[in-house]
């Protein structure tokens, strides 16, 4: 008896988790995208999956209400990427279905970066001023973000057994890839002050404190908690635009590039699998282009 698309989807998700080593969050996203496609198309057999069924689903997605009136092409592409990966899995298993190469992604515009100025960054970093363990923790979080360019999930997963006698440590990022990140003197100093003042024995590097910690089963700070923390200090610093941990990651990258670092090195430090992801930063850091424009533009009009 031929297997249904639903049972094959389950096998595909298990393949992603076990053979491909994808994170649980990634597997959950793929599950959500594929489940929605199967529910819409009502197709149960792999051989019945056609370009027309995919086209109808794309039209359905495009007509879904979003912030800008319709679902963004970038979001639509997530569905197509998951479907294409599923079809590649079927082909690997020699199961007859639609050729994955027949699925094209929608063109998306250049990504806009949420950036803050150097002055705003300085005010943000100087937000936690006290000497109690909570303020020391918050200062260490902000300094570590800017020193390493860590993703918020990566920072949350850190344990307190960091070797502060060294200027570097390894972190496991997206796709279970391990990379090395580096500690600035300021980050090392604030981390040491914070850890020296900790009186608990919890393994996590950054934990809940005060009334929030009394009934908590797990003291480790969550990404959402750290996002709220960054937002609090951004508001305190008088920054009107939205500031998230990822904005500090942007600042980390643009600071390196603006001071002469090469793109490949920044790619490695950020843990980007593809350099095209890192290239989004170049247009905001290329001071040379401004100098060229200033020197050569409009000379005949003087």
Write out the DSSP string of 165-212.
Answer: TSSEEEEE-GGG-EEEEE--HHHHHHHHHHHHH--S--SBSSB--THH
Residue of 31, 42, 41, 36 whose CA lies nearest to 8: 31
User: Token pair for residue 41?
Assistant: 């198309």
Sign of CA dihedral 89, 92, 93, 99: positive
CATH 1.10.150.130 fits 5-102, yes or no: yes
Predicted confidence (pLDDT) per residue in 86-100, tens digit: 999 999 989 888 898
157 vs 287, higher pLDDT: 157
Question: What residues are labeled active site?
Answer: 151, 174, 246, 249, 272, 281
Residue entry with tokens 């303020």: 135
* 263 token code pair: 């793109």
Instruction: Please list the residue range(s) of the chain that carry CATH number 1.10.150.130.
Output: 5-102
* Amino acid 30: pLDDT: 94
Average pLDDT over residues 180-193: 90
- pTM for the full model? 0.67
Mean pLDDT confidence for 262-278: 83
Condensed to tens digits (0 to 9), the pLDDT of residues 11-45 reads 999 998 888 877 788 889 999 999 999 999 998 88
Q: What whole-number distance in Å separates Cα of residue 267 and Cα of residue 40?
A: 39
Task: Look at residue 284 and tell me whether its pLDDT is greater than 80.
Answer: no
Mean pLDDT of 144-172: 88
Query: CATH 1.10.443.10 in the chain, residues?
Result: 118-289
pLDDT for residue 112? 58
CATH number of 118-289: 1.10.443.10
Q: What is the rounded distance in angstroms from the CA atom of residue 4 to the CA atom of residue 46?
A: 7
């Amino acid at each position: 008896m031929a297997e249904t698309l639903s049972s094959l989807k389950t096998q595909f998700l298990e393949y992603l988790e076990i053979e491909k080593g994808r994170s649980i969050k990634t597997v959950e996203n793929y599950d959500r995208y594929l489940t929605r496609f199967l529910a819409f198309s009502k197709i149960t057999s792999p051989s019945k999956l056609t370009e027309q069924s995919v086209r109808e689903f794309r039209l359905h997605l495009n007509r879904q209400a979003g912030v800008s009136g319709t679902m963004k092409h970038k979001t639509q592409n997530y569905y197509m990427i998951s479907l294409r990966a599923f079809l590649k899995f079927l082909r690997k298993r020699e199961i007859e279905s639609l050729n994955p190469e027949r699925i094209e992604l929608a063109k998306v515009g250049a990504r806009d970066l949420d950036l803050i100025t150097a002055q705003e960054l300085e005010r943000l970093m100087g937000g936690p001023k006290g000497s109690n363990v909570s303020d020391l923790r918050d200062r260490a979080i902000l300094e570590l973000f800017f020193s390493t360019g860590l993703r918020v999930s990566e920072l949350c997963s850190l344990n307190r057994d960091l070797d502060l006698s060294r200027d570097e440590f390894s972190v496991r990022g997206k796709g279970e890839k391990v990379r090395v990140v580096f500690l600035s003197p300021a980050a090392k100093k604030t981390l040491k002050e914070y850890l020296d003042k900790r009186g608990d024995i919890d393994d996590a590097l950054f934990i809940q404190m005060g009334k929030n910690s009394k009934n908590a089963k797990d003291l480790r700070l969550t990404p959402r908690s750290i996002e709220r923390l960054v937002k609090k200090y951004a508001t305190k610093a008088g920054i009107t635009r939205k500031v998230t941990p990822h904005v500090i990651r942007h600042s980390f990258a643009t600071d390196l590039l603006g001071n002469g670092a090469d793109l490949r090195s920044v790619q490695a430090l950020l843990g980007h699998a593809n350099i095209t992801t890192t290239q989004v930063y170049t247009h905001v850091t290329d001071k040379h282009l401004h100098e060229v424009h200033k020197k050569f533009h409009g000379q005949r009009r003087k």
